[in-house]
Amino acid sequence: METIEQGVLGHLMALERGGMGQQDQQESQRLEMLKIRAMSLRAKRDQLKHQTDAVKILKDKISKDLPLADGDAAGGFTELKKSLLTAWRMQLKDLQRAHHLIGGYDLVECKEGKSVCVSFHTAFEGVYLETYNMELDLTRTVQISRHNIPPSFPLESFAKQNLQKDLKTFLQTLNQNLNALAARRQQVCLLKELVGSVEVMESNQLCNILVLMCTAQGETPKAVLCTLEYGDLTQCLPTRVSIECEDKTLSESPQWKKNQSLLLESPAHAALLTMRRMGSIA
């Protein structure tokens, strides 16, 4: 009787299932998947909880100066050493990251020591900017084999000066100059972004000259041309600033003498923002 009932019930259920539309099938599939995911996450969570507790016990043992291998099963001891080595590895990776974050060269040996790769990280006012990379071939003399430093940058002349005799000085010089370049370039970006009223008339790849057109506030707004010359390429501030205006009284005025100093002493975007805040320019 049961068999027949099972048979009949089974048949009815099959019919029912067949009667369920496509959508229902998909729904039940999805439900299955969710159920499986929940199960595996639960297992992972439990395993993690177990590990985390074990690590806490380990820490406690270490703090209390208990012997780390106290007759645990051999497996337990391995677990312990594993945790400690994991902790050590984490500390080492943290140190690596720290070197990276403070602007280190991230030196990597390639081709079994025949060449090295270095990175030059640039930043300005806390914002990390471009990273430039270079591969140095060390087989006979030190040679630059590959790099992604912009062509306008006088790489060859720096290489001629220092590359053979003092690698560290070469790297430092490059680092300093690349950072200054990134800083000058970033200032141009920032001033375009923050001080829309000022027009960049001239700029170049090396960012060693910047010509800006500002509108001086007054009864009649007047155009003022500010030329910033960056004579020292290791610096991100100009070495010379000249102010030109059709109205000579304006360019000679104390207010604009002050603006000239501002442009010499602070980054371009900051100086212009101050000038705008003081009502000097639009």
Partner 1 sequence: MEQKYEEEIQMLEQEIEMLEAEQEETLRSIFIEHGDRLQQELKSVCEERGGAQKHALSKLITEVRELEKDLRRQTEINGIALNECFVKTLHKSERKLVQQLRLAGHCSVLLFQVEFAVTEIQEDDALLRRVTELNIVVDGVEFKDFSAFVSRFPIWRKSRLHNRLHNIKVVEDTKDLLLFFRTLRTFSERCEERRQTFQHFQEKYPDVVSLPEGCRSELMIIRSPQLPGISMTIFWKIDVSMEGVIKPRLELLLKIPDQAREFDTKKVTENGSEYFQSLLRILGVEASIEGLIRTVCL
* Residue ranges in 123-142 that form contacts with partner 1 under rule CB under 8 A: 123-128
Q: Which of 3, 22, 23, 63 binds partner 1 (CB under 8 A)?
A: 63
108 or 223: CB nearest partner 1: 108
Answer yes or no: are the C-beta atoms of 245 and 253 closer than 8 Å: no
Residue ranges in 214-273 that form contacts with partner 1 under rule CB under 8 A:
234-237
Q: Which of 38, 194, 200, 201 binds partner 1 (CB under 8 A)?
A: 38
Does residue 189 interact with partner 1 by CB under 8 A?
no
- From 34-42, 193-201, 222-230, 239-247, give the range in contact with partner 1 by CB under 8 A: 34-42
Which of 152, 149, 143 lies closest to 131 in space, CA to CA?
Answer: 149
Binding mask 71-100 for partner 1 (x = CB under 8 A): ---x--xx--xxxxxxxxxxxxxxxxxxx-
Q: Which of 136, 149, 155, 171 binds partner 1 (CB under 8 A)?
A: 171
Q: Which of 115, 122, 186, 280 binds partner 1 (CB under 8 A)?
A: 122
- From 14-22, 70-78, 222-230, 247-255, give the range in contact with partner 1 by CB under 8 A: 70-78
129 or 250: CB nearest partner 1: 129
Q: Which of 31, 189, 201, 223 binds partner 1 (CB under 8 A)?
A: 31
Strand order in the sheet with 222-229: 199-202, 209-216, 222-229, 240-245
Does residue 29 interact with partner 1 by CB under 8 A?
no
- From 114-122, 195-203, 205-213, 244-252, give the range in contact with partner 1 by CB under 8 A: 114-122
Answer yes or no: are the C-beta atoms of 101 and 119 closer than 8 Å: no
Count the site residues for partner 1 by CB under 8 A. 71
Q: How far is the CB of 250 from partner 1 (least distance, A)?
A: 29
Q: Which of 6, 51, 145, 148 binds partner 1 (CB under 8 A)?
A: 51
